[in-house]
Structure 1
Amino acid sequence: MKATWNGVILAESDDTIVVENNHYFPADAIKKQYFSESAHTSHCPWKGTASYFSIDVAAHRNENAAWYYPEPLEAAASIRGRVAFWKGVEIGE
């Protein structure tokens, strides 16, 4: 699977986990040069507190377009160390 935004592949892996229709990529599959930590967080009752990355490609910024659970709750342990995308990031093969 590939995560693409603004014509650039942000992540690529044959090892994604799908939860609630979102592909979670292994953290080592993302191209870190496009990602910066965000102060934004959100909370899911069964996954825990999510942290976010903003994505920068070719002078364009996509705020909080990727998220991960640094300390997922037990029910979501399978997505520890994984990153998912939204806000126009395309996921496909």
Structure 2
Amino acid sequence: MKAIWNNQVIAESDNTIVVENNHYFPQQSIKQEFFKKCATQTTCPWKGLASYYTLEVDGKQNPDAAWYYPEPKPAAANITNYVAFWKGVKITD
């Protein structure tokens, strides 16, 4: 699977985990140079506290377009160290 934004592959992996129709990519499969940590956080009742990244590709930014659960609740332990996308990021195989 590939995550693409602004015509750039930002993550690629054969080992994504699908949760609620979102592909979660292993942390080591993302291209770190495109990811900037930001202060945004949200809470999911069953997954826990999510943190976000802003994507930056070729001078363009996509705020809060990737999220991850640093310490998910037990029900979501399988997505520890995985990153998911939205806000115009295309997921393709």
Cα distance per residue 1:10-65 (max 9 Å; x no partner):
00000000000000000000000000001000000000000000000011000000
Partner of 1:16: 16
- Runs (4+) of structure 1 exceeding 6 A deviation are none
Partner of 2:45: 45
TM-score, structure 2 as length reference: 0.99
Partner of 1:87: 87
| In 1: Cα distance, 2:38 partner to 2:87 partner | 15
Tell me how far 1:78 sits from its aligned partner: 0.5
| In 1: Cα distance, 2:65 partner to 2:38 partner | 10
Consecutive unaligned residues in structure 2, runs of 5 or more: none
Tell me how far 1:87 sits from its aligned partner: 0.2
Residue identity in the other structure for 1:54:
T
Q: SS at the partner of 1:52?
A: strand
TM-score, structure 1 as length reference: 0.99
| In 2: Cα distance, 1:20 partner to 1:2 partner | 18
| In 2: Cα distance, 1:41 partner to 1:87 partner | 16
Consecutive unaligned residues in structure 1, runs of 5 or more: none
Partner of 1:34: 34
| In 1: Cα distance, 2:48 partner to 2:9 partner | 28
Q: SS at the partner of 2:62?
A: strand
Q: Percent identity?
A: 58
| In 2: Cα distance, 1:35 partner to 1:70 partner | 15
- Aligned CA-pair RMSD: 0.3
